[in-house]
Structure 1
Amino acid sequence: MYAEALDVLHALTGNPDAQFHPGQYEAIEALVADHRRALVVQRTGWGKSAVYFLASLMLRRRGAGPALIVSPLLALMRDQIAAAERAGVRAVAINSANATEWSDISGRLAADDVDVLLISPERLTNPRFRAEQLPDLIRRCALVVIDEAHCISDWGHDFRPDYRRIRDLLAELPDGVPVLATTATANARVVADVAEQLDVRLVNGGSQRPHDGVFTLRGPLARSSLRLGVLRLGNNTDRLGWLLQHLGELTGSGIIYALTVAAAEDTARALAAAGHHVRAYTGRTDPADRQVLEDALKGNRVKALVATSALGMGFDKPDLGFVIHLGAPSSPVAYYQQVGRAGRSGADADVLLLPGIEDENIWQYFATASMPRKEKAEAVIAELTRAGTALSVPALEARVDLRRTPLELLLKVLAVDGAIEKVAGGWQATGVPWEYDADRYAGIAAARKAEQQAMLEYERTTGCRMEFLTRQLDDDDAAPCGRCDRCAEPWYPAAVDTGSTERAAGALAAAGVEIEPRSTWPSGMDRLGVSTTDGAPVKGKISEPDRAEPGRSLARLSDLGWGGRLRELFETSVGESGADGPRDGELPPDLGKACVRVLREWDWARRPAGVVALGSRTRPQLITSLARGLAEVGRLRYLGEMPVRDGHPASRPGGNSAFRLAGVWGGHVVTPELAAALAELDGEPVLLVDDLVDSRWTLTVAARDLRRAGAGAVLPFTLASAG
């Protein structure tokens, strides 16, 4: 069989001298000759895709059906299909981005005109796909491939709940169908977990038992092409200044990773303004624009993409010249995965980490994002059980106080646990008992904490950085690289000149973030007891006469510039409420000046004539001093406060739109004095001032009440935006 495999390799590569990398043929043999289930853990660039393409073609030669590849990202699918086409493999994908092509693909599958079919793990939850296509695929497929298999494991750095459905898919496969799981980022714990999930089959009409053992192939994970380094600088100004000064000196094109969307966008804006050809790439980037940006980087038409982790597993540019991190990922394994984007062709590439003082706070926020909270999970199951029929996600939002993204994640977790299922029309309860696995989630939380500590140790280590990373991946071959800034002298300039620091400071001092007005009421408000004073339902579009105008915040709390100053203010303002809650105080002068600058640059259609302060239980002094200060500097009339209604319960942070709106509905009062002052303005616009905007419902309801009391346009202004 070796000769046959080598012939196929030569045909695919077009190179008659091509040879297998160590371990490649052994993996192919386990799949094609022995029909085994195999787990391959090899560094990026080793050639894992070559294994499954070769195995697919060799099985096709033996009369078998297509291979089924489960792949986590659309961008990764695009790269895999492109690689398959270059190798002469007929590959197609079924995903959310090509729904118009599904019927053609189904026809090609029926005609046996497909060698490889790629799907996302989310397809396995789609009722139509499960009913109409999956049974035939299970019956006919010659090989199942699970790419980026660490996503299966709770302990993996990029766990995806839908990946856990793959265990059920594998259990249903006919005997003799080989399975290949591949990853470049799995430590021993993840390897053991993935192997256990691979090693199942169905027996006795539905129960699962171990299969025949998993062939596991682990290779050395060190990347000899990478030159690692860590440079600690004082603050965000110094880090951005370093980039402004030295980005152009880095070889080729690359990726600058940031921990938050705001940081990526701020950095890209500052670098572009200084003449560097960069673009931002985040979870907010439109899918069509993502492909354009990826192609621009691959074609070296940009110096860098400033990206969040949205640009990760799915991106393949073998000659990527550098990876810079503004802030550290929360684990060495996640860091290894991201820096693995560089130097894949074997050419040298530079990798530099610029840690941030805010890193640990960001890690804490995301640490348990994928873990269900017991009370929320039980509430979802109870509501679905009570409904007795399928409920859509918007309908569930009106019944359970969870925002859309965490609610959708929780639904996936509960579906994988078997407590609920996705059907036509939404989600329904299955009646299967569900218990909160407290030990499991406590273990995951502890593991995440240990990973964060290990990342801090990577930053401080006096030993080889590549050896440290590969030991975190339990690589028995871990050894000093001889190239990093610990094995050799630092390869990067450490100095930042005054001019670059001043340019960075100027960029970070830029102020002003738009507050987009709400335009539609959440569904299901009648269930939460929200209605107008005349009993009319609150639903549908917010009418133009009731709607706020676009507003402004000084900055987002996550911004690189004013964000840090605002976080400091909100944490340390001194007042009478003490340590039991948010503390209050007068607005500091530097923030006041910045707010005035935002108003000066605001391109409103009509200048406001008055200022209204939104009443607050937590920071009344801060808000009032801001409102009065803006009125004085802008020579506007201070109309007074819109106080909190007596006896109205305090609103809680977090939660979904429906519950947030219900919590603030009727929460503020237009007093007779304020109504009289508004009447005197005779329909002129007013500025509505608050300290922090998050869901925007407080401002939306207050603007509606002010408009109905006689105000003209209502222009919201806040110190900070949580978005």
Structure 2
Amino acid sequence: MTQPNPDRDPGPDPAPDPALRARADEVLRALVGRADAELRPDQWRAIEALVVGRRRALVVQRTGWGKSAVYFVATALLRAKGAGPTVIVSPLLSLMRNQVESARRAGINAETINSANVTEWDDVAARVADGSTDVLLVSPERLTNPGFRDEVLPRLAATTGLLVVDEAHCISDWGHDFRPDYRRIRTLLEDLPAGTPVLATTATANARVTADVAEQLAGTRHAATGDVLVLRGTLDRTSLHLAVRQLGDHAAQLAWLEANLPRFEGSGIVYCLTVAAAEQTAERLRAAGLAVRAYTGQTEPAERLQCEADLVANRVKALVATSALGMGFDKPDLGFVVHLGAPPSPIAYYQQVGRAGRATDRADVVLLPGRDDAAIWDWFASQAFPDEASVRATLDVLASSDAPMSTAALEPRIDLRRSRLEMMLKVLDVDGAVTRVRGGWRATGQPWSYDAERYARVAETRRAEQAAIREYAAGDRCRMAFLRAALDDPALGEHPTWTCGRCDVCLGGSRDVLPDDEAVARARAQVEVPGVEIASRRQWPPQMSALEVPLSGRIPEAERAEPGRAVGRLDGIAFGRALRELFAPDPDGVPRDGELPSPLRRPALDVLDAWGPDVDGVVLVRSASRPTLVEHLATGVARHLQVPVVGVVSPGPGASRHDVNSAQRLATVHGRLRLALGEGALAGLPGRSVLLVDDRVDSGWTMTVAARALRLAGASAVLPFALAVG
């Protein structure tokens, strides 16, 4: 298919209709609550293409430009002409509440179908059918739900008056936030009746992503690629004052936050790359007296809503968040965005900082790069689409089954973590190799090919994006000019020497305050408090019988480990770097072994002293890759606690993998671990408690199985202790 030119003139506009334009401005004024509001030229051009031309359009415009106004105004005009309801596919429906309220001010009735209101689906569908609902919002995940796909989606496709794909860059696997569920939208596009207008919107798409989305938007039945109207505007945001501050470590970053957050106007967001960093940063800032809350993918839905409400109402100075707080969040007066660690691409960075300064004259945007950024990027990249062998194995398992298989049933048979398995199944579903039905997944028998060349090109694109964000952080070019160039801003090409005049490069510095040595030392003392909990496993994974492991259901309390302690998390802000360096293999990929490094000895003892475990002996988990490290740790711990080493849990022959799912890991551990107690220890073990020492806890199954063996041998309590969690 011919690649679309995002900047080509799609042809002459329809003949002007003054009455329609006047009505459009009336709807806009009701929508935004301002009597002087008027549509931007490109807003009207997109609306006219949808309402009059019944075309497909892609709008790539900066955050705050008014993309939602395009689809709400178009909805009002189309409904007045007798069209069916608008269907909006958006990844974060909970964050569109304010838009729904605005739509109602304009007389537009909007409703949602999502996983939280399944019992209301029939009623909502009935209101859509009888014409009382103007806008229906659905999440992309709903498109793959069998009940929705088979029963609701066909009726929607037949009656939709306008289809809107919000955050459309998610369609493209070249984009910074590709989501497999979005690929189902291509099927929905093909099922629409001819002449159904379609609008795709995004604030973050470079030329490659724009071309890819436009091609998918065109489809194969109803529109030629060149017939897609692509409107791309300038990405400059005059309110944003960009800066980069290079600081030595996490302690210096925390001290910087303590000094500068109170100086920033209003409230804002502090982005972190990992859940642990967000939670620990929020904890430290609260201890320093700042009103902040953590917001991550692990935050409960109700708490998320409360966090968002607190930020909107300025009841907190900041949310310390991962990328879970991103697309769709709307606070026009957001005063600042700070990043502790760089996102893996300039596009992702622009998307997140675009939340700030939409209705303010100034918003401060500061990047604090971390020394661990590249390692974190590499970990997330490792979670990409699995290799061909894993895909073929999954297809073979499904093909050999007479009945649909749930993800839980598949997991013991496939050596992938659940998140990667689910993502792979969604991609295979769209590719036609599997289908999701009631009860799970089924192979279709359709031929499928592994596009290794495309995956390699995507991986190379990711590496180029990582190099670009490093250049942004280290460079001496105007920050906004750099971001605009990275996103292929068409307006920048007309002014190649343009500079913003607002960033730290243009001004020769920024107005932030550097913390003094005392403040950094104080922050370091707070950060370097060792100790995190090791949670005890309480439930065996399902379907273990498929792996010939006779374990199921809840773990009896008499066979369970107690909660334990570790020095730190591998992704934490305190000892994460030292622990990652300890467990990093050498250049040839061989695990490093040796005595516990001196910088980690005192923290390990500090954890024990603060915890105070009351134990009668130590049992070590012998490591096949780091035997010296674990033995040195266990003997040192035993000496410090003044108790003997009474036993060893040793791995049997065979390879052990950690990059597999929970069931596979448990099966490996269950089949390999052997408990050996010292002479006289068995007689003294009943009624005694032991400290179970390992170097690292990942899935937790090694500790769980070893603790079970010790409890069955008579131990009254087993308390796990390790250097690292994660």
Which of the five TM-score ranges fits, normalised by the shorter chain?
over 0.9
Given the alignment of the two structures, is residue 677 of structure 1 paired with residue 674 of structure 2, yes or no?
A: no
What letter corresponds to residue 181 of structure 1 in structure 2?
A
Which residue number in structure 1 is paired with residue 258 of structure 2? 244
Maintained 8 Å contact 1:170/1:201: no
1:584-663 paired onto structure 2 within 5 Å: 584-602=593-611, 607-645=614-652, 648-663=653-668
SS of 2:673 mapped into structure 1: coil
Of 187-196 and 7-16, the range deviating more from structure 2 = 7-16
Maintained 8 Å contact 1:397/1:656: yes
Post-superposition Cα deviations, 1:563-604, rounded to whole Å, max 9, x if no partner, equal 11112223489xxxx966212222234422212221222276
The change in CA–CA distance for 1:97 and 1:486 in structure 2 (over 3 A counts) is same
Which residue number in structure 2 is paired with residue 138 of structure 1? 157
What letter corresponds to residue 91 of structure 1 in structure 2?
A
Cα distance in structure 2, aligned partners of 1:695 and 1:135 = 42
Cα distance in structure 1, aligned partners of 2:317 and 2:683 = 56
Cα distance in structure 2, aligned partners of 1:13 and 1:586 = 65
Of 665-674 and 260-269, the range deviating more from structure 2 = 665-674
SS of 2:694 mapped into structure 1: strand
Cα distance in structure 1, aligned partners of 2:150 and 2:461 = 38
1:104-253 paired onto structure 2 within 5 Å: 104-202=123-221, 210=224, 213-253=227-267
Cα distance in structure 1, aligned partners of 2:681 and 2:444 = 58
Which residue number in structure 2 is paired with residue 262 of structure 1? 276
The change in CA–CA distance for 1:460 and 1:587 in structure 2 (over 3 A counts) is closer
Maintained 8 Å contact 1:221/1:475: yes
The change in CA–CA distance for 1:153 and 1:244 in structure 2 (over 3 A counts) is same
Maintained 8 Å contact 1:546/1:708: yes
SS of 2:270 mapped into structure 1: strand
Structure 1 residue 388, shift from structure 2 partner? 2.9
Of 473-482 and 323-332, the range deviating more from structure 2 = 473-482
Q: How many residues align?
A: 702
Maintained 8 Å contact 1:679/1:711: no
What letter corresponds to residue 639 of structure 1 in structure 2?
V
The change in CA–CA distance for 1:619 and 1:437 in structure 2 (over 3 A counts) is same
Post-superposition Cα deviations, 1:675-718, rounded to whole Å, max 9, x if no partner, equal x3143144121100000010111111111111111211111111
Structure 1 residue 313, shift from structure 2 partner? 0.3
Which residue number in structure 1 is paired with residue 3 of structure 2? none
Maintained 8 Å contact 2:47/2:70: yes
Which residue number in structure 2 is paired with residue 305 of structure 1? 319
Post-superposition Cα deviations, 1:387-422, rounded to whole Å, max 9, x if no partner, equal 132100010001111111111011111111110010
Which residue number in structure 1 is paired with residue 435 of structure 2? 421
Structure 1 residue 212, shift from structure 2 partner? 7.2
Post-superposition Cα deviations, 1:539-563, rounded to whole Å, max 9, x if no partner, equal 1111111111111111011111111
Maintained 8 Å contact 1:330/1:363: yes
The change in CA–CA distance for 1:480 and 1:462 in structure 2 (over 3 A counts) is same
Uncovered stretches (5+) of structure 1, i.e. residues with no partner: 204-208, 531-536
Maintained 8 Å contact 2:215/2:225: no
Maintained 8 Å contact 1:260/1:558: yes
Cα distance in structure 2, aligned partners of 1:656 and 1:109 = 42
Maintained 8 Å contact 1:77/1:93: no
Cα distance in structure 2, aligned partners of 1:491 and 1:235 = 20
Cα distance in structure 2, aligned partners of 1:439 and 1:572 = 29
Maintained 8 Å contact 1:71/1:120: yes
Which residue number in structure 2 is paired with residue 664 of structure 1? 669
Cα distance in structure 2, aligned partners of 1:7 and 1:657 = 57
Structure 1 residue 213, shift from structure 2 partner? 1.2
Cα distance in structure 2, aligned partners of 1:603 and 1:23 = 67
Post-superposition Cα deviations, 1:55-102, rounded to whole Å, max 9, x if no partner, equal 001111111111000001233333432332343321111111222332
The change in CA–CA distance for 1:66 and 1:572 in structure 2 (over 3 A counts) is closer
Given the alignment of the two structures, is residue 499 of structure 1 paired with residue 518 of structure 2, yes or no?
A: yes
The change in CA–CA distance for 1:634 and 1:673 in structure 2 (over 3 A counts) is closer
Post-superposition Cα deviations, 1:468-500, rounded to whole Å, max 9, x if no partner, equal 101111112223111001111322335221222
What letter corresponds to residue 351 of structure 1 in structure 2?
V
Given the alignment of the two structures, is residue 582 of structure 1 paired with residue 599 of structure 2, yes or no?
A: no
Structure 1 residue 465, shift from structure 2 partner? 0.6
Cα distance in structure 1, aligned partners of 2:443 and 2:316 = 49
The change in CA–CA distance for 1:641 and 1:330 in structure 2 (over 3 A counts) is same
Cα distance in structure 2, aligned partners of 1:347 and 1:290 = 28
Which residue number in structure 1 is paired with residue 710 of structure 2? 706
Maintained 8 Å contact 1:244/1:504: no
Structure 1 residue 672, shift from structure 2 partner? 5.1
Which residue number in structure 1 is paired with residue 579 of structure 2? 566
The change in CA–CA distance for 1:428 and 1:567 in structure 2 (over 3 A counts) is same
Structure 1 residue 107, shift from structure 2 partner? 2.7
Cα distance in structure 2, aligned partners of 1:486 and 1:254 = 23
Post-superposition Cα deviations, 1:234-261, rounded to whole Å, max 9, x if no partner, equal 1222111111222211111100001111
Which residue number in structure 1 is paired with residue 15 of structure 2? none
What letter corresponds to residue 30 of structure 1 in structure 2?
A
Cα distance in structure 2, aligned partners of 1:53 and 1:325 = 33
Of 101-110 and 461-470, the range deviating more from structure 2 = 101-110
Which residue number in structure 1 is paired with residue 58 of structure 2? 39
SS of 1:329 mapped into structure 2: coil
C-alpha RMSD of the superposition: 1.8
Maintained 8 Å contact 1:321/1:343: yes
Cα distance in structure 1, aligned partners of 2:637 and 2:240 = 53
Which residue number in structure 1 is paired with residue 722 of structure 2? 718
Which residue number in structure 1 is paired with residue 343 of structure 2? 329
Of 711-720 and 595-604, the range deviating more from structure 2 = 595-604
Of 417-426 and 20-29, the range deviating more from structure 2 = 20-29
Post-superposition Cα deviations, 1:405-459, rounded to whole Å, max 9, x if no partner, equal 1110111111111100100000001111010001111110111011011111111
Given the alignment of the two structures, is residue 8 of structure 1 paired with residue 13 of structure 2, yes or no?
A: no
What letter corresponds to residue 345 of structure 1 in structure 2?
A
SS of 1:280 mapped into structure 2: strand
The change in CA–CA distance for 1:212 and 1:240 in structure 2 (over 3 A counts) is closer
Maintained 8 Å contact 1:678/1:711: no
SS of 2:507 mapped into structure 1: coil
SS of 2:403 mapped into structure 1: coil
Cα distance in structure 2, aligned partners of 1:173 and 1:698 = 52
Of 5-14 and 104-113, the range deviating more from structure 2 = 5-14
Cα distance in structure 2, aligned partners of 1:328 and 1:547 = 40
Structure 1 residue 368, shift from structure 2 partner? 5.1
Post-superposition Cα deviations, 1:492-515, rounded to whole Å, max 9, x if no partner, equal 335221222122111211111111
Uncovered stretches (5+) of structure 2, i.e. residues with no partner: 1-19, 493-497
Cα distance in structure 1, aligned partners of 2:618 and 2:335 = 53
Structure 1 residue 339, shift from structure 2 partner? 0.2
Cα distance in structure 1, aligned partners of 2:98 and 2:178 = 21
Cα distance in structure 2, aligned partners of 1:457 and 1:41 = 25
Cα distance in structure 1, aligned partners of 2:212 and 2:76 = 29
Cα distance in structure 1, aligned partners of 2:617 and 2:73 = 72
Maintained 8 Å contact 1:368/1:445: no
